[in-house]
């Protein structure tokens, strides 16, 4: 197989990875803009390297012509969550989407791998538009917590280093570390509500501040500058109190004032 052919085979997979990363990143932004907790913390994607594809073909005795049918993770997306509970929420979210179809699932949270690996895997079908028309491809989505990702990243590097011949003392250490990661995830889950409350408040505050300053800026363009500067001073005073309820009240009042300014400017024209 020539380089040229590899390029054209992998091209739709590259497009699919880029599209899905954008789509999931947008979901994060949409949650945050609506003051909602996002079960997705980060998303990354990659197309498997040619050398990794060749290695998998050899290991599984797959003829190269069957590559696209048999190798399900040529394109891969990794979704990182904060808490273990978020993983089910992400799976649910994906299962309700109309732009991807779940082919199969592997639950390595329930059935932890011998290595200690934990993660939730989905194989999906996804269609990309190419110059020769639509192409339906398979993709792997790995969903795991930040802690699981930390462990898997380190273990993956060590697997690469020892090329499948990991010394027992390293395997033992990794197994102990996997237990520690599992208990860390449990600990974090037990304070999940508190952490989520704190994060939601911080997001709400940042959205309120953005809205308020946007309103102030618009009012400044429309009317009495000295009055608007007084409103800005008042905002800074309220902001200093670090009291979210006061900020919300100020936001509501400012909305009413801004509406009045807008009505005045319309009738003035």
Taking the C-alpha atoms of residue 14 and residue 87, their distance in angstroms, rounded to an integer, is 25
Give the residue at shortest CB distance from ligand 0O2: 117
Cβ closer to ligand 0O2: 84 or 155?
Answer: 155
227 belongs to the catalytic site: no
CB 104 within 8 A of CB 69: no
Rule CB under 6 A: is residue 113 a binding residue for ligand 0O2?
yes
Q: Distance of alpha carbon 113 from its chain centroid, rounded?
A: 24
Per-residue binding letters, 38-57, with ligand 0O2 (x by CB under 6 A) = ----------x---x---x-
Interface region with ligand 0O2, contact rule CB under 6 A, candidates 96-104, 113-121, 177-185, 204-212: 113-121
Using CA atoms, how far residue 264 sits from 23, 251, 256, in Å, is 41, 20, 12
Taking the C-alpha atoms of residue 186 and residue 109, their distance in angstroms, rounded to an integer, is 13
What is the β-pairing status of strands 75-81 and 120-130?
unpaired
The Cα diameter of the chain in Å comes to: 81
* H-state helical runs in 126-191: 146-162, 168-190
Cβ closer to ligand 0O2: 31 or 121?
Answer: 121
Per-residue binding letters, 139-158, with ligand 0O2 (x by CB under 6 A) = -------------x--xx--
Taking the C-alpha atoms of residue 15 and residue 21, their distance in angstroms, rounded to an integer, is 10
Residues 150-209 that bind ligand 0O2 (CB under 6 A): 152, 155-156
Using CA atoms, how far residue 21 sits from 8, 83, 152, 181, 188, in Å, is 21, 20, 20, 26, 26
Q: Which of 18, 42, 115, 232 forms a contact with ligand 0O2 (CB under 6 A)?
A: 115
Rule CB under 6 A: is residue 106 a binding residue for ligand 0O2?
yes
Q: Distance of alpha carbon 209 from its chain centroid, rounded?
A: 24
Per-residue binding letters, 209-248, with ligand 0O2 (x by CB under 6 A) = ----------------------------------------
Rule CB under 6 A: is residue 86 a binding residue for ligand 0O2?
no
Cβ closer to ligand 0O2: 143 or 216?
Answer: 143
Rule CB under 6 A: is residue 122 a binding residue for ligand 0O2?
no
Rule CB under 6 A: is residue 102 a binding residue for ligand 0O2?
no
Task: Give 268's contacts (C-beta < 8 A, 6+ positions apart).
Answer: none
Cβ closer to ligand 0O2: 106 or 251?
Answer: 106
DSSP class of residue 49 equals P
Cβ closer to ligand 0O2: 68 or 248?
Answer: 68
Least distance to ligand 0O2, CB of residue 164, Å: 11
Cβ closer to ligand 0O2: 13 or 235?
Answer: 13
Is residue 211 within a helix (H) or strand (E), and if so which, with residue range?
helix 192-222
Angle between helices 168-190 and 146-162 (to 10 degrees): 170
Q: Which residues here bind ligand 0O2, judged by CB under 6 A?
A: 48, 52, 56, 73, 106, 113, 115, 117, 121, 152, 155-156
Q: Tell me which residues are annotated as active site.
A: 140
């Amino acid at each position: 197989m020539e380089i040229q052919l590899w390029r054209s085979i992998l091209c739709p997979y590259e497009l699919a990875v880029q599209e899905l990363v954008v789509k999931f990143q947008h979901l994060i932004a949409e949650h945050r803009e609506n003051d909602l907790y996002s079960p997705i913390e980060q998303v990354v994607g990659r197309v498997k390297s040619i050398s990794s594809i060749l290695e998998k073909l050899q290991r599984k005795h797959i003829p190269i012509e069957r590559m696209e049918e048999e190798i399900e993770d040529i394109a891969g997306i990794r979704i990182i969550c904060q808490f273990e509970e978020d993983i089910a929420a992400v799976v649910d979210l994906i299962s309700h989407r109309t732009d991807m179809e779940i082919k199969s699932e592997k639950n390595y949270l329930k059935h932890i791998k011998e290595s200690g690996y934990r993660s939730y895997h989905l194989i999906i079908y996804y269609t990309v538009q190419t110059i020769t028309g639509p192409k339906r491809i398979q993709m792997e989505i790995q969903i795991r917590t930040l802690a699981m990702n930390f462990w898997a990243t380190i273990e993956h590097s060590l697997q690469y280093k020892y090329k499948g011949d990991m010394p027992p003392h390293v395997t033992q250490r990794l197994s102990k570390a996997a237990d520690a990661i599992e208990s860390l995830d449990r600990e974090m889950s037990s304070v999940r509500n508190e952490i989520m409350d704190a994060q939601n408040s911080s997001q709400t505050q940042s959205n309120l501040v953005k809205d308020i300053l946007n309103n102030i800026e618009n009012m400044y363009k429309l009317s009495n500058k000295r009055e608007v500067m007084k409103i800005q001073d008042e905002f800074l005073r309220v902001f200093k109190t670090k009291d979210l309820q006061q900020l919300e009240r100020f936001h509501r009042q400012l909305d009413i004032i801004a509406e009045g300014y807008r009505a005045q400017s319309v009738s003035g024209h």
